[in-house]
Amino acid sequence: MIKTLVYVVLILIGLCLSPLIVGQSGYVYIAIGDYQIETSLVIGVVGLIVFYFALQLLEWLILLLNMLLSSRYLPEQWRRKAAKKHTLTGALALAEEDWPAAEKAMAKGAEKGEIPVLNLFAAARAAHYQGDITARDHYLTQAENNPIAKTAVYTSRTRYLMKQGELTQARVVLDKLNPTSKSSAPVLKLAQELYLQQNDWQALKLLLPILKKRQLLTETEFNQLNTKTNSILMVNAAKTSEAELNKCWHWLSKSERKQDELVVAYAHGLTQYGHKDKAIKLIIKQLSAAPSAALFAAIPDLIDAQDQEVRKLLSRLETTHEHDADYQMCLAKLAIQSRDTKQAKTHWQNVCRIAPTHQSWLALAQAQEQLGENSSAANSYRNAANII
């Protein structure tokens, strides 16, 4: 307003002074390159004023056009601003685990949000925790329309189905991800978890080298899981046929064929198919190389009272394994096989001295009862009851 008033005052002053100026001589000469302009001083001044007003008018027109365009897109800006507000509200609700509020806010924020996929995943999570499976799958289906989000959608869907206990459906979705060495770490870990829950040891066997190469398992974790997987595969192969048993054994690496658990599993399979002599030779070889708790636990189930060669080898270990509870327990069970109750009692006493357990005290009490040592047996029963 003040600016316009100044312009009006200047115009009035110009009108008042114009009669005086018109009577004055003088001219304006302007040269720009090859162009020359010659005019009177009055016309030059008037031309400058007109030019200035033309520029001012152009500025007003641009401002008016900008206002018209802004008003046209204003509702869209309002919606985006509202989407940001809904997303923030949903994020806070997720942090507070207010699942109904989180789902509602995130779903609204996805409509005009900057990254709607994130809102959809958050809404799906909130729906899952409310047990609304239909809404959860609806949000994931919407997110799947974005090609970049497909892997994340399949991963989320697999994890949700696993939590529901729908392992078969989860496996169908996981197979779409096709876990390989090029897959992401979350996909590989998810595959490991699902294979374990499904007891799909063959698939886990193929996955383990990838997990080790990608350093997703520690050395200890890998060794434990690899041994468990191979042992179960060996047992399952023995249930199928002798050919499958031998095939499974020969698929193992040289170092794996030296592991006690796998040797024991193979020995049990050989015994099942009438190759007890071969099984005992494997046990003797392993026992001579490195006696272990796994071997001591398996020997009583693999041999009988007539297998003296293993018993002689065990007797040679007495000086080095005198204080080994697993060794003493093995000898006690072998003594029971030979109906040597007195010797069994001695070994059970050693077990109870070294590492007493409820079962060892019960076994000692039974041996003492058979020998007529009722008082000692009663004391052993009391000790067994105290350990429960």
Least confident of 28-32, 53-57, 73-77, 145-149: 73-77
Whole-number pLDDT of residue 327: 93
Answer with the residue of higher pLDDT: 65 or 103.
103
Answer with the residue of higher pLDDT: 61 or 355.
355
pTM above 0.75, yes or no: no
pLDDT in tens, 2-32: 666 666 566 666 656 566 555 555 666 667 7
Q: Which neighbouring-strand residues pair with 31?
A: 36
* Range 237-256 average pLDDT: 92
Cβ atoms of 232 and 262 within 8 Å: the answer is no
pLDDT in tens, 355-376: 999 999 999 999 999 999 999 9
Give CA separation, 354 vs 150, 329, 351, in Å. Answer: 58, 11, 5
Residue 28 phi, psi (nearest 5): -120, 130
Cβ atoms of 369 and 377 within 8 Å: the answer is yes
Give dist(CA 69, CA 210) in Å, integer: 57
Report the candidate in 302, 247, 248, 246 with the shortest Cα–Cα distance to residue 271: 302
pLDDT in tens, 24-51: 556 666 677 677 777 766 666 677 777 7
Whole-number pLDDT of residue 387: 82
Tell me which DSSP letter residue 366 carries: H
Q: Which neighbouring-strand residues pair with 37?
A: 30
Tell the burial category of 146 from Cβ atoms under 10 Å away from its Cβ (0-12, 13-18, 19+): middle
Share of the chain above pLDDT 90, in %: 46
Report the candidate in 278, 270, 265 with the shortest Cα–Cα distance to residue 243: 270
SS3 306: coil
Instruction: Kindly indicate the confidence band of residue 117, based on its pLDDT and cuts at 50, 70 and 90.
Output: confident
Instruction: Write down the mean pLDDT value for the chain.
Output: 85
* Range 167-189 average pLDDT: 93
Cβ atoms of 158 and 190 within 8 Å: the answer is yes
